[in-house]
Amino acid sequence: MSVTPLQALPLEVLRQRSSTKWRKYGDDVLPFFVAETDYPLAPAITRALTRAVELGDTGYTPPAPGIRESFVGFAARRLGWTIDPSHVFWTADVMMGVVEILRLVIEPGDRVVVMTPVYPPFFDTVEEAGGVVERVPLARSDSGWEIDLPAVESSLASGATAVLLCHPHNPTGTVHPPETLAALAELAERHGAVVVSDEIHAPLTHAPVAFTPFLAVSDAARRVGYAVTSTSKTFNLAGLKCAVMVAGGDRQADVLRRLPWEVEWRTGLFGALAHIAACAPESDDWVDSLLEALRLNLDLLAELLADHLPEARFVMPEAGYLAWVDLRAYGWGDDPAQTILESTKVAFHHGPFFGSEGVGHVRINIGCSPAMLREAILRVSDMVRS
């Protein structure tokens, strides 16, 4: 059955938005940096939030908001993941969940493995939790990236106590295969380390690739792991503040029960309402339409790069709407996003922010209209010609 791709809102409407994507730069800049998308909200979310606004329902999030139950249903339907509801906890956002879990499972000064290039807040988050970042770059192959298991093992063997996994990985879009994750879990268990898996991009895995949650790969993963995720990337809800933490087993659930009560209390009521609407079966068709729009845009990006920036190196992401593009061949410096912004008023994300592996790279958010994506690549290709 064919799925109709979701249509992004027109640029003149998006320019009226007040979020970071549309307000960091002036109206003369086309934004592709932060991970916000340009689509209308899923109808069930619009209805839930409109009703709350009409009621002036803007107070505190209640003690049992329904975040847990709705996520358990969503995970079973969309991710093939069976979760014990007593293992689900909630907080305001994914990075807050990661910080709070790390605070409980590491000692100050402990080393935490982070696989670069990676979503830049991973570095700050480990430090905020009192840890020290241990950079273990992903291994590069012609077909993509993979976890460098021997390098992770050597970090764990020499005393690193936790791994902060990004699955699917931002910025490369890598969906780690279950065998690799199972091997990672075994290494962690052997060396007494914990794995915290950030799975925020999981619902946007592109078929035929299949996503397996870290906590679903093996008993060892469930013994060493926690997952943190949110509907906020898929449904563009980052400003509303709701995320979930999932314990791998009863032991970790006991650990999460030790979190200060404020960690749950900080969850936004609009975040909770939107999360519940996002997780409802009636939003499934919207996600399928979004996936179709993203797939078409990724194909378009590949085509535009091949035609207009043939020296760019790009591997199709297996999940999400972020494209990691190597522009080193063009000699636009360590941070081509800066050069491009100054020359063309197109704002890509800065590769070096993701670690030294990001030198000469940009990250492009393709969650926009095909026309806007085309305009950006054509403007950048003018730089080559001039």
Ligand X SMILES: Cc1ncc(COP(=O)(O)O)c(C=O)c1O
Nearest-CB residue for ligand X: 93
Beta strand residue intervals within the chain, DSSP E? 30-31, 88-91, 111-114, 132-135, 139-141, 144-146, 162-166, 194-198, 225-229, 243-247, 313-314, 322-326, 346-347, 349-350, 361-365
| 36 makes contact with ligand X (CB under 6 A) | no
Return d(Cα 25, Cα 248) in angstroms, integer. Answer: 41
Number of Cβ atoms within 10 Å of the Cβ of 288: 16
- Select from 166, 247, 278, 347 the one that contacts ligand X (CB under 6 A): 166
Count of positions on this chain that bind ligand X (CB under 6 A): 14
Is position 264 an interface residue for ligand X (rule: CB under 6 A)? no
175 binds ligand X (CB under 6 A): no
Query: In degrees rounded to 5, what are phi and psi of residue 273?
Result: -60, -45
Report CA 371 to chain centroid distance, whole Å.
24
Question: Is 238 a residue that touches ligand X (CB under 6 A)?
Answer: yes
238 by Cβ neighbours in 10 Å (0-12 / 13-18 / 19+) ranks as buried
| Identity of the residue, 134 or 198, whose beta carbon is nearer to ligand X in the bound complex | 198
Query: Per rule CB under 6 A, is residue 323 in the interface with ligand X?
Result: no
Residue from 70, 232, 339, 344 touching ligand X (CB under 6 A): that is: 232
Q: Is 243 in the site for ligand X (CB under 6 A)?
A: yes
Tell me the HSE value of 29 on the side-chain side, using a 13 A CA sphere: 20
By CB under 6 A, is residue 346 in contact with ligand X?
no
Q: Is 70 in the site for ligand X (CB under 6 A)?
A: no
Nearer to ligand X, 74 or 332 (CB): 74
Q: Counting contacts by CB under 6 A, is residue 165 touching ligand X?
A: no
Task: Report the alpha-carbon distance of residue 226 to residue 164 in Å, rounded.
Answer: 10
In the range 78-117, which residues lie near ligand X by CB under 6 A? 93-95
- CB contact at 8 A, 208 and 295: no
Q: Which is nearer to ligand X, 114 or 156 (CB)?
A: 114
Segment 186-205, which members bind ligand X (CB under 6 A)?
A: 198, 200
Place of tokens 């069976």: 82
Q: Which is nearer to ligand X, 191 or 201 (CB)?
A: 201
Q: Establish if 67 lies at the interface with ligand X (CB under 6 A).
A: no
Q: How far is the CB of 170 from ligand X (least distance, A)?
A: 4
CB of 358 to ligand X, least distance (A): 14
Residue 119 engages ligand X in binding (rule: CB under 6 A): yes
Phi, psi of 73 (to 5 degrees): -65, -45
Q: Is 312 in the site for ligand X (CB under 6 A)?
A: no
Residue number with CB closer to ligand X (137 or 333): 137
Sign of CA dihedral 120, 124, 126, 127: positive
Instruction: Give the helix/strand (H/E) hosting 36.
Output: none
Summarize as ranges the residues that interact with ligand X (CB under 6 A). Answer: 35, 93-95, 119, 166, 170, 198, 200, 230, 232-233, 238, 243
